[in-house]
Structure 1
Amino acid sequence: MGRPLPPRPGPAPRRNAGRRGLIGRRTRIGCTAAGSGAELRRPGAWREPSTCWRNRVSKRVVVWGTGFVGKMVIAEVLQHPEFELVGVGVSNLEKVGRDVGELCGLGPTGIIATDDVEGLIALAPDAVAHYGPTAAHADDNISLIGRFLRAGIDVVSTAMTPWVWPWASSNPPNWIEPIERACADGRASCFTTGIDPGFANDLFPMTLMGLCGEVRSVRALELLDYASYTGDYETEMGIGRPPEETSTLEIPEILVMAWGGTVPMIAEAAGIELDDITTTWEKWVTDKAIPSAKGVIEPGNVAAIRFQIHGNYRGEPRIVLEHVNRIGPDAAPDWPRGNTPECYRVEIDGSPTIIQETAFRSTAGDPVAGGCLATGLRALNAIPAVNASPPGWVTALDLPLIAGRGSIR
């Protein structure tokens, strides 16, 4: 018999208030009470080194998705001693029936891309690494992932970033409950990660907090130049638009749902219950034309945004997630920037105070490829630990140290 599903913490009463302005805003959002009620698990007994590596068996993996992240991960899996690629799933009918190597810019692999979910389930993989579309396609993601979970196959994913902390009160119940039922039916586990939200503002700050005696505040920042980015920053962030327009993420409830899950996770790790969660949003308007990969940001339009999500405790913002996203290095000169260009930064004011900057680079020359590859491999490398987890949700708080076994070769 498998172990029962761990209890899910209930949300604290939701409290909404705030004030709005054209350029800046601070809004309060209700937060989930810390304390999951999950029992502490005793660490496993020490094992002889031979049982750790000489007798290991590679994990059989199905990868779903051959987009920007998926194809990079597939290239890594094919040469990784700890993983065996047994199947690849795609939703694009134009990719069905083609060799995966062709789709990923590699040589022939003998693995044919398929949209046959039941056929992939029949392969009995140890896990599915899901690199599907974002939460904008939530219904499709939930349906697909649920099918694998009900079949008893663990899933690691980078798609539904609100699942980084599924117990946040900002998460819609219809995004959470179907996965819980699927995990229960199949006795399977589901782990979601990302870079931000994800390991840059959960794993990194929580690890550094473990080096402190006291933490007065912890701040995790994304400091990126979006000049080479070709995604939809106009609708999502309002970049390139007049400042009076309201972007999707500028709506506080959507911002907290999309990006704020790691704030209550850190509170849980610290053993505190937040008073509430508040947000701020600022815009920087350019007075000159700024070139970007998507065209020119015209004078009078937004060329940088800055938002903060505050986890407030005892009346002060003690846990802060912050973004500064600009077009070009000269935009918003007074806003924070890293000592290293294009970085993720953690600042802990404590005993001791710690500052860490992490930058991702890629030999392919694409400025975003390194971070995207790291995101995909965080999910892949977690598979052995997710397989060993009880059925249900798995978060960064549940995982042991994942040190990249097999990566040095």
Structure 2
Amino acid sequence: MGTLRVIQWTTGKVGKLSLRGILDDPRLELAGVYAYSDDKAGTDAGPLCGRPDTGVLATRDIDELLALGADTVLYTPFMADLDHAVRLLESGLDVISTNLFLNVGGIQGETKARLEQACERGNSSLYISGINPGWINTMTAAMTAVCRDVQMVSIAESADVSVYESAETWQALGMSLPEATPQVIEIAKMWLSTFHDAVQRMAVTLGYELDDMEFFIEHATASEKVDLGWFCMEKDTIAAIRAGWNGKANGKTVVQSKVAWYLTKQLNADWDFLDDHYHVVIKGEPEVDTRIRFIPPDTWGNHEWDTMTAMPAVSAVLDVAAAPAGILGLKDVGLVVAPAGIWQHD
């Protein structure tokens, strides 16, 4: 397979990092960039992601992008636009999305039907690599291959989220409030629907038929005032959560995805947080216990952590191109890897 021509769709927190990924991969050629905002239209793609000029200018003209004869779209908007996605797929473009389409109902029901029809008309593929959790789902499902029996699969994420400067996100999850009201819990449930999706996707991959999805959440308050500069929590207001989803079959939890997120460790609760970002446990024969820790270079800013969302999508471009048409699951794309040999340093 020769060089594939790729369109980057939006250049936000994740999009600018996947744009860098395209430019760094000699197997890929940047064909075009879709600009969400008018002020980015006409701007060279390079400066939009902190790189030198590329000669490719961002545009809001979808017809112009469809006329480029590209192969793939890396779709990274904060909110999905179903009409846009359908149009891209119908034109014959493969779409690799970090967005889960949750704001238009998720990949189910009418939304799924429209996307499947678009893939059929365009002989194209839609692959959702996910945002967070994304990559870890594929890795965990693959690790079950060593087992002769699997009773339960669990992914636990632990993170100091004070590096993620988004006051809106943490307020929505109840941070800085004196207590978690039923309304706050419902909003948190909606925000954590990405983990609901992760449980469902792993269940499908592993052949489980879930009959229940159970949400759980608990909160801890700060033992002292914490001012992060961009966000402030008074003493005795919420500063950490533990939450997640249990996917159940025949009344037993078979797939679990949970998080422990904290803005400070100074809490009115005896909570322990792992230094590892992921703790994966597969209960079976044998039991698998795996811990994963990401160690960023000193040069990374806070939002560079979105690299772990962007790069699995970029790395999947060739695999998705080789896969059959339609909406692809975790097993359909195969083992997505980085082109390490191409990057090999002297």
Whether contact under 8 Å (2:224, 2:266) holds in the other structure is no
Q: Give the length in aligned residue pairs.
A: 340
Structure 2 residue aligned with 1:156 = 96
Aligned residue for 1:304, secondary structure, equals strand
| d(CA) in 2 for partners of 1:72, 1:264 | 27
Question: Is 1:190 matched with 2:126?
Answer: yes
Cα distance, 1:316 vs. partner? Answer: 2.2
Structure 2 residue aligned with 1:403 = 337
Structure 1 residues 325 and 253, CA gap change in structure 2 (3 angstroms): closer
Whether contact under 8 Å (1:217, 1:319) holds in the other structure is yes
| d(CA) in 2 for partners of 1:225, 1:87 | 36
Identity %: 27
| d(CA) in 1 for partners of 2:21, 2:308 | 11
| d(CA) in 1 for partners of 2:40, 2:188 | 38
Q: CA-to-partner distance for each residue in 1:50-105, whole Å, 9 max, x for gaps?
A: xxxxxx41111111111122222222322311111111111110011111122222
Structure 2 residue aligned with 1:291 = 227
Whether contact under 8 Å (1:59, 1:84) holds in the other structure is yes
Residue number among 78, 85, 99 corresponding to 1:145 in the alignment: 85
| d(CA) in 2 for partners of 1:324, 1:346 | 14
Question: Is 1:393 matched with 2:327?
Answer: yes
Question: Is 1:221 matched with 2:166?
Answer: no
- What does residue range 251-270 of structure 1 map to in structure 2 within 5 Å? 254=190, 257-270=193-206
Structure 1 residues 339 and 352, CA gap change in structure 2 (3 angstroms): farther
Structure 1 residue aligned with 2:314 = 380
Aligned residue for 1:110, secondary structure, equals coil
Whether contact under 8 Å (1:286, 1:300) holds in the other structure is yes
Provide TM-score, normalisation by structure 2.
0.89
| d(CA) in 1 for partners of 2:52, 2:41 | 17
Structure 1 residues 353 and 330, CA gap change in structure 2 (3 angstroms): farther
Greater share of helix residues, 1 or 2? Answer: 2
Whether contact under 8 Å (1:230, 1:293) holds in the other structure is no
Q: CA-to-partner distance for each residue in 1:14-56, whole Å, 9 max, x for gaps?
A: xxxxxxxxxxxxxxxxxxxxxxxxxxxxxxxxxxxxxxxxxx4
Provide TM-score, normalisation by structure 1.
0.76
| d(CA) in 1 for partners of 2:186, 2:271 | 18
Whether contact under 8 Å (1:60, 1:85) holds in the other structure is yes
| d(CA) in 1 for partners of 2:293, 2:185 | 25
Paired residue type of 1:146? V
Aligned residue for 2:19, secondary structure, equals helix
- What does residue range 24-35 of structure 1 map to in structure 2 within 5 Å? none
Question: Is 1:103 matched with 2:18?
Answer: no
Structure 1 residues 160 and 262, CA gap change in structure 2 (3 angstroms): closer
Question: Is 1:87 matched with 2:23?
Answer: no
Q: CA-to-partner distance for each residue in 1:170-192, whole Å, 9 max, x for gaps?
A: x5x34333322322222211111
Q: CA-to-partner distance for each residue in 1:241-274, whole Å, 9 max, x for gaps?
A: 2214345663587367442122232222332322
Structure 1 residue aligned with 2:214 = 278
Structure 1 residue aligned with 2:15 = 70
| d(CA) in 2 for partners of 1:99, 1:274 | 47
Cα distance, 1:324 vs. partner? Answer: 0.8
